[in-house]
Amino acid sequence: MVVGLLMLVGGVAAGAFGSLLGLGGGVLIVPLLTLGFGLPLREAVGVSLICVIMTSSAAAGVYLERHVANLRLGMTLELFTATGALIGGSVAFLLDERLLALLFAVLLLYVALTMARAGTPEPVLDPDEVDDSPAEPTPEASPTASAPPSDPPTLLDGLSGPGYRVRNLGRGVVVATGAGVASALLGIGGGIIKVPLMNIAMGVPLRVATATSNMMIGITAAASALIYAIHGGLDVYVAGPTAIGVFIGATAGSRFGHRVELRYLRLLFVVVMVYTAIEMLLRVVA
């Protein structure tokens, strides 16, 4: 019972920190369960996938209700993230756990470096603070933002939103597939890949990119979570308390995030992530 309570509390902490720092919970839940509770990495990834679906569904629901997320673009990319997740989920059961741990350590170091250099890798977007009005266009988001839609309308016109025009769909497809593979292998939402992809490479305003990425996490993680569940890589006794904790933490984090001084929290987090990455690497060597 004490272990269950600790998992719940750990989940709350992971959800809250993840929400405050704009990370999906996955990057925190996997180390928590592997290093903190001795769970095999693959089972931790399975639990993490459930947690990221739950937090993303609640937030994505609000974004869609308020028309912030670009549903058409998100679904188009989802076709490829889901394909990547199918590949990653299948490959995950063939790979040595030490290789997965190595990949996770590299991911942690990358996130820590990104955070240390440029603040949060994925900006916090509190669903409750989103306007009811459709997403505000960001003119500078795309050099073709003010370009009129072509006649007859192309696929890109159909995927574009008010005030911005989507570009580089081919690159988007390739990177989205990679994000799906990473999500399934490491149990992460993949926002750290998808948000920069949509914002920088595809010309989608940051706010819309964040909301759309959040929406996409659900289907990407669902594709691989089912594979994990069927392969026996999902322990419900661990997933139950952890997922509830993450949901509570993420909800609290998004509601009270504006009251927290993020600078020191971020610094603390960089240190924790580097330490966790080293611990993971030591496991690989051991």
Cα–Cα distances in Å, from 74 out to 41, 204, 210? Answer: 29, 11, 11
167 three-class SS: coil
Main-chain dihedrals φ then ψ at residue 164, nearest 5 degrees? -145, 150
58 binds other proteins (CB under 8 A): yes
57 binds other proteins (CB under 8 A): yes
178 binds other proteins (CB under 8 A): no
Residues linked to residue 235 through DSSP beta bridges, in sequence order: none
Burial of 284 (0-12, 13-18, 19+ CB in 10 A): middle
229 three-class SS: helix
67 binds other proteins (CB under 8 A): yes
Of 64, 109, 173, 281, the one binding other proteins by CB under 8 A:
64
Of 135, 234, 250, 273, the one binding other proteins by CB under 8 A:
234
Nearest to 37 by CA among 17, 8, 63: 8
14 binds other proteins (CB under 8 A): no
271 binds other proteins (CB under 8 A): no
Interface characters, 20-49, with other proteins (x: CB under 8 A): -----------------xx-----------
Helix, strand, coil percent content, the chain, rounded in steps of 5? 75, 0, 25
User: Is-contact 42 92, C-beta < 8 A?
Assistant: yes
91 binds other proteins (CB under 8 A): no
Of 238, 273, 277, 280, the one binding other proteins by CB under 8 A:
238
229 binds other proteins (CB under 8 A): yes
Return residues touching other proteins (CB under 8 A): 1, 3-4, 7-8, 37-38, 50, 53-54, 56-58, 60-67, 71-72, 75-76, 78-79, 82-83, 85-86, 89-90, 134, 155, 158, 218-219, 221-227, 229-232, 234-241, 243-244, 247
